[in-house]
């Protein structure tokens, strides 16, 4: 036998060849099963792809539905109507609120698993202007949810109670909200609670909360802080003098790093 040639006997004993023969034999004996498995796997992959495409399309449609509702929410109200309004425009507030309500309600009904609660909240805030009792019921339901939407709903519900003179209910809701405000500033809750106490004739309680708002350094120079000070001058002028002094602006603030600049 020529040097370097492999005999048939040695070839038969080649581990790789033996593995190949064994595998081929196994495949031939199970070709029907393998075809069935391959078909099943292909079907599963196809279903997954189709499902992903449908979910993606539904998510896109849900986002567009909510965006359309926001266009009504942000619509301009003017009479006479401007010649070339940007975005949606209406001649009356009533028309705007009804259209916005319908759009948000549609978004909530069509895509409840995407933004149902958020759309229902906005729908209720517009419905308050023409069907307040129904809107109030929706806000009350949503306020039970432990979420940002739930907190916003409780805040809107408290303001609703305050507006119609149900002051005790308003204070109760504000206090519940203060315990877990989520993204609502506690200082804003205090201001609204103070305003409600003032409407109830509880001037001491109102003044204490107005003072708390006015002395908050983060709110002192805001419109809310100024309103709180104005209220204090009427309800408890002696408390105005107890407010901490306003910190003067530092003219050199933000210049501490100038030493690192190189002179050209």
Instruction: Give the Cα separation of 70 and 89 in Å (integer).
Output: 13
Average pLDDT over residues 77-98: 88
Residue range 153-176, pLDDT digits in tens: 999 999 999 999 999 999 999 999
3-class state of residue 80 by DSSP: coil
- Please state the rounded mean pLDDT for residues 93-119: 94
Tell me what pLDDT residue 256 has: 43
Residue 191 reports pLDDT greater than 60: yes
- Is the per-residue pLDDT at 123 higher than 50? yes
> Which of residues 191 and 17 earns the better pLDDT score?
191
Residue 82 or residue 207, greater confidence = 207
The answer to whether residues 106 and 112 touch, using CB atoms and an 8 Å cutoff, is no
d(CA 67, CA 39): 42
Task: Please report, in angstroms and rounded to a whole number, the separation of the first and last CA atoms in the chain.
Answer: 87
User: What pLDDT is attached to residue 79?
Assistant: 87
The pLDDT score that the predictor gives to residue 245 is 82
Query: What does R_g of the chain's alpha carbons equal in angstroms?
Result: 34
Position 216 scores a pLDDT of: 92
| pTM for the whole structure | 0.73
244 within 8 A of 212, measured Cβ to Cβ: no
Look at residues 95, 99, 140 and name the one whose alpha carbon lies nearest to residue 121. 140
Is residue 8 pLDDT above 90, yes or no? no
Lowest mean pLDDT among 51-55, 213-217, 224-228: 51-55
Band of the pLDDT at 261, cuts 50, 70, 90?
A: very low
Of residues 13 and 214, more confidence is placed in 214
Contact 122, 69 (CB under 8 A): yes
CB 88 within 8 A of CB 62: no
Q: How far is CA 146 from CA 117, 121, 124, 175, in A?
A: 12, 14, 18, 15
Residue whose token pair is 């023409």: 130
pLDDT in tens, 56-67: 676 788 889 999
Q: Which has more confidence, 106 or 15?
A: 106
**What pLDDT, on the 0 to 100 scale, is given for residue 82?**
76
Which residues, at least 6 apart from 62, have a Cβ–Cβ distance to it below 8 Å? 107, 110, 111, 114, 115
CA dist., res. 175 & res. 19, Å (int) = 76
* Token representation of residue 252: 């050199």
Average pLDDT of every residue of the chain: 83
What's residue 255's pLDDT? Answer: 43
Is residue 23's pLDDT more than 80? Answer: no
């Amino acid at each position: 036998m020529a040097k370097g040639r492999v005999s048939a006997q040695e070839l038969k004993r080649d581990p790789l060849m033996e593995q190949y023969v064994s595998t081929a034999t196994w495949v031939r004996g199970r070709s029907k099963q393998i075809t069935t498995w391959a078909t099943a796997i292909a079907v599963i992959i196809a279903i997954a792809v189709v499902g992903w495409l449908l979910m993606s399309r539904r998510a896109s449609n849900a986002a567009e539905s909510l965006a359309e509702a926001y266009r009504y929410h942000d619509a301009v109200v003017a009479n006479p109507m401007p010649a070339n309004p940007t975005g949606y425009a209406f001649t009356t507030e009533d028309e705007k609120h009804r259209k916005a309500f319908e759009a948000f309600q549609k978004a909530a009904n069509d895509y409840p698993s995407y933004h149902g609660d958020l759309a229902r909240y906005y729908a209720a805030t517009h419905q308050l202007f023409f069907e307040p009792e129904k809107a109030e019921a929706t806000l009350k339901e949503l306020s039970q949810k432990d979420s940002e939407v739930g907190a916003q709903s409780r805040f809107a519900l408290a303001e609703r109670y305050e507006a119609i003179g149900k002051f005790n209910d308003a204070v109760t809701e504000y206090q519940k909200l203060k315990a877990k405000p989520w993204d609502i500033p506690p200082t804003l809750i205090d201001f609204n609670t103070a305003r409600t106490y003032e409407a109830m004739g509880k001037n001491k309680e109102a003044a204490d909360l107005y003072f708390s708002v006015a002395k908050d350094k983060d709110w002192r120079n805001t419109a809310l802080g100024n309103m709180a000070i104005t209220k204090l001058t009427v309800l408890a002028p002696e408390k105005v003098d107890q407010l901490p002094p306003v910190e003067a602006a530092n003219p050199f603030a933000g210049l501490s790093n100038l030493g690192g600049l190189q002179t050209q």
